[in-house]
Amino acid sequence: MESVRLFKRSLIKALLLSTFLFSGPLISYAQISSEVDFLIDRSRANDAFWSIHVSDSLGNVLEELNGHKLIRPASNLKLITSGAFLDVLGKDYRFTTNLYGRGEVIDNRWVGDLIIEGSGDPSINGEFYDDPLFLFEEWFQVLDSLGIEQIDGSIIAYDGLFDDVPYPQGWEWDDLSYYYAPEISALSFNFNVVDLEVVADGAVGSQPTIRWFPFNTSYVEFLNQQTITPAGTKYNESYRRVLGTNTIVLRSTLPQGYYETEPLSVLSPSTYFIDTFSRYLDRSGIRVRGQLIVESDYYSWSTEGLEVLATHTSEPLHKMVTWMNRESDNLFAEMLTKKVGNHVYNTQGNTEIGLQVIKEFMHETGIDTSVVRLRDASGMAPATLIRASDLNQYLNSIKNKPWFDTMYESLSVGGVNGTLGHRFRNSTVNRNFYGKSGFMSGVRTLSGYLTTGSDQQLTVTIATNNYTTSTGHVDWVHEKILEHLYNNY
């Protein structure tokens, strides 16, 4: 039965080749090697759609299977979008977030409003700074140095640099409670999530203890319907934010003694920002008596009459790109997309114009954008489609870009860091593959640069779409394909 299946595949390839030979001057593509073909055919994912494209440092195609068919790239799309960000903004670009005052100090009071201008900075969080609340502490120190103990006015967030559409087109609704699918806003804090901790420290049948950052804020409401089960039983996760609210329903079952952490998204990140700032000031000794207000009108926004009280300047863009690629951060990808749209067209940033900038960049790198479909910049939308051959050709074409070294260093290293840190550890590929992994339901992708045993550098894209077996098994096949390339080129 096995030999019959292999014979059929060989016959189909021969027929396709004969069609190419007798139908005019069509482009000739390299075929997949028998070893790789055998690996796929014998795998539990042999009924999935496979697309493979491998080229050498000169761009010569070495291995190819369905490379010119459209695939869902998942997060491998970030390889292209991060290149666009570096190309358009420059690797040393920095965001500035201003705290303005409109009023004056009278005795120990600020009589007037505080206004925060969102610049689209996605990095106001604890990964880029030791303390996630660092900015609020800096601003508290500024106000405290002025002798202010009370704000007799409102705290206003201006987030109109971006439009008010919180998600790209096509994100699936059941992802929207989780950290990897937060709302997008020009004013963001802590990845636009609250960090939940759950401790199953009670008796079997009781509810576990919960706490959350920042300081158990009442900006969100948790409905704790979780249950502690006997020690040794399976942990079953269930978190759901009621869409359109900040009510989060918890229904997990946790074995006794289990500890769990989960970042969960919030509604209205701009309000979350100023709500947290207000609470921080209150906890630090400055009372806020006014309201919390969000202003979003891009065309009426003006800083006339405002006094700059403090300015926060972000880390450079290349550090954000490294975080985005190594950790596959969707928030960074989507916020930076709106930012490049705003930057290039000098208008309110939105996903559509940002994707237009990215497509223009793709075209400049030689990609036929007439067959590309972009619904988002992070690759999480199932309707986002690109060809593996185009992705590979792009990875070769950017080697002459002035920012290529920055891009290369932003990639995960197999067995070392990022999303590839746990893969290839006991393989010849360990430390020899710099790249990006992608994942969504039924989709697993891998793209990057492989240094082989003969010290060649290959550009590799492997995409498996529509599989129903375990992702771990697909990862194993991907690893074996890379090992074949490492040993044979």
Distances (CA, A) of 186 to 258, 332, 450: 37, 11, 37
Q: Indicate whether 352 and 452 sit together in one domain.
A: yes
**186 in a structural domain:** no
Q: What is the pLDDT of residue 28?
A: 36
Residues comprising the chain, all counted:
489
Q: Indicate whether 377 and 468 sit together in one domain.
A: yes
Q: Indicate whether 137 and 226 sit together in one domain.
A: no
**173 in a structural domain:** no
**14 in a structural domain:** no
Walk along the chain (489 residues) and give the pLDDT tens digit of each residue: 444 444 434 444 443 333 333 333 333 345 899 999 999 999 999 999 999 999 999 999 999 999 999 999 999 999 999 999 999 999 999 999 999 999 999 999 999 999 999 999 999 999 999 999 999 999 999 999 999 999 999 999 999 999 999 999 999 999 999 999 999 999 999 999 999 999 999 999 999 999 999 999 999 999 999 999 999 999 999 999 999 999 999 999 999 999 999 999 999 999 999 999 999 999 999 999 999 999 999 999 999 999 999 999 999 999 999 999 999 999 999 999 999 999 999 999 999 999 999 999 999 999 999 999 999 999 999 999 999 999 999 999 999 999 999 999 999 999 999 999 999 999 999 999 999 999 999 999 999 999 999 999 999 999 999 999 999 999 999 999 999 999 999
Q: Indicate whether 444 and 392 sit together in one domain.
A: yes
**334 in a structural domain:** yes
Distance CA 200, CA 192 (A): 26
| Beta carbons within 10 angstroms of residue 245's beta carbon | 10
**182 in a structural domain:** no
Q: What is the pLDDT of residue 193?
A: 98
Q: What is the pLDDT of residue 457?
A: 97
Q: Indicate whether 395 and 422 sit together in one domain.
A: yes
Report the 3 state secondary structure along 260-291.
EEEEEECCCHHHHHHHHHHHHHHHHCCEECCC
* Preceding omega of 230 cis (within 30 degrees of 0): no
**464 in a structural domain:** yes
Q: What is the pLDDT of residue 30?
A: 56
The residue behind tokens 């697993």 is 444
Domain count for the chain: 3
Q: Indicate whether 357 and 458 sit together in one domain.
A: yes
Q: What is the pLDDT of residue 2?
A: 42
Q: Indicate whether 438 and 373 sit together in one domain.
A: yes
Q: Indicate whether 156 and 106 sit together in one domain.
A: yes
Q: Indicate whether 74 and 155 sit together in one domain.
A: no
Q: What is the pLDDT of residue 420?
A: 97
User: Which pairs count as long-range contacts for 433-436, CB under 8 Å and 24+ apart, including other chains?
Assistant: 433/460, 433/482, 434/408, 435/411, 435/460, 436/75, 436/76, 436/78, 436/79, 436/325, 436/328, 436/411, 436/412
Q: Indicate whether 213 and 348 sit together in one domain.
A: no
The residue behind tokens 């890379």 is 482
Distance CA 378, CA 75 (A): 6
**184 in a structural domain:** no
Q: Are 334 and 124 in contact (CB under 8 A)?
A: no
Domain, as residue range, for 205: 195-262
Q: Indicate whether 254 and 282 sit together in one domain.
A: no
pTM of the predicted protein model: 0.92
**46 in a structural domain:** yes
Q: Indicate whether 398 and 457 sit together in one domain.
A: yes
CATH number where 452 lies: 3.40.710.10
Distance CA 374, CA 368 (A): 13
